[in-house]
Chains A and B, each alone.
Chain A
Amino acid sequence: MKSSNPFALWRWEKMFGEWQMFGEGFLRTIEVAALALILAVVLGVIFGVISTSNNKVMRGIARVYVEFFQNTPLVIQVFFMYNGLAIAGLRLSVFAIGVLGVGIYHGAYVSEVVKTGITSISVGQVEAAKSQGFTYIQYMRYVILPQTIKIILPPLTNQAVNLIKNTSVLAMISGFDLMYMADSWASSSLDYGPSYVFAGLLYFMLCFPLATWARKYEERLKRNDIARVPFDPSEEAVTC
């Protein structure tokens, strides 16, 4: 049993004997990621739409939100929520910090994705909708946003993948997520080899299907677009 090999077989056996620990962490990671993703998409759509509005103040608010959360490290944001807010008297649970911290952080990125999606829809669409008497909310809801979904889905999925991985920031604040459990096991048993490989594999199992799906979807989208491109002189004549 005595061995300095960090990947020795008995270390793996010992670790799988404690699989519940990793199971709990894995579950916690999935829960936090799922709720944070919902929050990120909700915030992203709201701020993405706001940032394309004509109202300067609204656009400013969206800008501040995006720039603040994109340009400060998630680690600091989470550490602040954990210790800073607690000193100020607001004690959020680590679970709540995970959902809020990661959700708000990625909301800023999703907002940029949504904004890009909206601006990629031609202005003519808006004008046409307006001419039919659609209000701002109405044409966003029924005309613009449905069309952006196809465009923003691939980058959105990448955000989801990043979000899942970023929940590992909880390990720092004793969040009992997968990374925390891996750290805990690695350092208490000294079997860091199996511990981190296994945790990595579990993260991979969550992220890989999502990333693959996004890539496939994007490829199909591109193929369809190329298929549609063939030059049609009559169409040209109309647009001119």
Chain B
Amino acid sequence: MKKVLSVLLVLGLVFTLAACAPAATTTSDSGADGSLDAVVKAGVLRVGVKEDVPNFGLKNTTTGEIEGFEIDIVKLLAKEILGDENAYELTPVTAKTRGPLLDNGEVDLIIATFTITDERKLTYNFSTPYYEDAVGLLVKKAAGFKGLADMDGKVIGVAQSATSKEAVNKVATEKGITVTFSEYATYPEIKAALDSGRVDAFCVDGSILGGYVDDSTMILPDRFSPQQYGVTSKLDNIALTEAVDGYISGWLADGTIEELITKWGLNY
């Protein structure tokens, strides 16, 4: 038993040391970190995107390609950075996988409805927001809810890592009602839970919700705390972050982003 414990202790130490090592080396040369050059050299921009969010990033089942507003941003970035709008590689991510994928270097950027918060800025770099959206609620028509105020004691399905939980909780407290939350890894899982009556409302950013409305469901008029989406990159990759931020700001100013938002019907 003692032997086992000591082995564990050693393993734990190695783990901690290994984790500390890269941080120590990268902070010293963060000024010119070569992250942009690395992308240019690789000749391909690797981006983590959603594949289950209609209009933002959704896999087209007939072509097998992921399509959407965020994929178009990837194409624009690939064109600017590498001169070829097809020089990109997409990795489907979920709220759970996008952080680790960025940290371990599998992807250069995350463009996956990643909401910017102050707390998250401690961990990743975020570009200027390319989209702003408020949280909404999708409910079954048959349930007869008119707004959040009618939902005292109900269960609300949210996505893991989504900021929507806090947003709704705040408003619920203001209205003097209590709601409970069930978290799921993906949006289709929340929709399934709504269909089966496991949750009373599907709560996520309004634009994402739009893709899940069907004959039996409707979006409530309530909107909560606007969320801003940013292109996310590793904290150390300053050069890449600055380059991307420059392009995004440019496209916001010249209306390119606005055009894409209209193209994907996200300006409701």
List residues of A whose CB falls within 8 A of some B CB.
1-8, 82-84, 86-87, 91, 172-174, 180, 183-184, 186-190, 192-193, 197
Whether A83 and B195, one on each chain, are in contact in the complex, defined by CB atoms closer than 8 angstroms, is: yes
Contact A6/B103 with A83-B196, A83-B198 known, Cβ cut-off 8 Å: yes
Q: Determine how close the nearest CB of chain B comes to the CB of A25; give it in whole angstroms.
A: 12
Chain B: minimal CB distance from A59 (Å): 36
Contact residues in A for B193 (Cβ distance below 8 Å): 82-83, 174
Residue B142 CB within 8 A of the other chain: no
Q: Write out the residue numbers on chain B whose beta carbons fall within 8 Å of the beta carbon of A173.
A: 198
Knowing A4-B23, A189-B119 are in contact, say whether A183-B189 is a contact too (CB < 8 A): no
Sampled A-B contacts (22; CB under 8 Å)? A4-B123, A4-B234, A5-B19, A5-B23, A6-B19, A6-B99, A6-B100, A82-B193, A82-B196, A83-B196, A83-B198, A86-B196, A87-B195, A87-B197, A172-B184, A186-B96, A186-B99, A187-B96, A187-B160, A190-B123, A192-B99, A192-B100
Q: 19 more A-B contacts (CB under 8 A) besides A2-B235, A180-B183, A186-B96?
A: A2-B121, A2-B122, A4-B26, A4-B103, A4-B123, A5-B23, A8-B23, A82-B196, A84-B196, A86-B197, A173-B198, A174-B183, A174-B184, A174-B193, A183-B160, A184-B183, A187-B160, A187-B161, A188-B160
Query: If the complex has contacts A3-B235, A174-B184, are A187 and B189 also in contact, measured as CB distance less than 8 A?
Result: no
Residue among A5, A7, A86, A193 facing the most chain B CB atoms (10 A cut-off): A5
Residues of B within 8 Å of A84, CB to CB, are 196
B16-53 contacts to A (CB < 8 Å): 16, 19-20, 22-23, 26
Neighbouring B residues of A192 by C-beta, 8 Å: 96, 99-100
- Complex Cα distance A8/B122, Å? 11
Point out residues on B near A: beta carbons under 8 Å. Answer: 15-16, 19-20, 22-23, 26, 95-96, 99-100, 103, 119-124, 157, 160-161, 165, 182-185, 189, 192-193, 195-198, 234-236
* A211 CB to nearest B CB, Å: 12
**Cβ–Cβ < 8 Å partners of B185 in chain A:** 172, 183
Considering the chains assembled together, what is the distance between the CA atoms of A183 and B184 in angstroms? 9
Verify B16–A7 contact, CB threshold 8 A.
yes
Contacts of B197 in A (CB 8 A): 86-87, 91
Residue of B nearest to A10 (CB): B122
Please report the C-alpha to C-alpha distance between residue A174 and residue B158 in the assembled complex, in whole angstroms. 10
With the chains together, A197 CA to B192 CA distance in Å?
Answer: 30
Chain A at the B interface: SS class? helix
Question: A190 and B184 in contact (CB under 8 A), knowing A5-B19, A83-B193, A83-B198?
Answer: no
Q: Are A187 and B119 in contact (CB under 8 A)?
A: no
- Measured CB to CB, the closest approach of chain A to B152, in angstroms, equals 20
A188–B117 CA distance with the chains assembled, in angstroms? 11
Q: Is the CB of A190 within 8 A of B196?
A: no
Chain A proximity of B143: nearest CB distance (Å): 15
Please measure, in the bound complex, the distance between the C-alpha atom of A187 and the C-alpha atom of B100, giving whole angstroms.
Answer: 10
Nearest opposing residue in chain B for A4, CB measure: B235
Contact of B182 among A174, A183, A188, A193 (CB under 8 A): A174
Is B192 a contact of A83 with CB atoms below 8 Å?
Answer: yes
Q: How far is the CB of A96 from chain B (nearest CB, A)?
A: 13
Give A203 to B262 CA distance when docked, in angstroms: 49
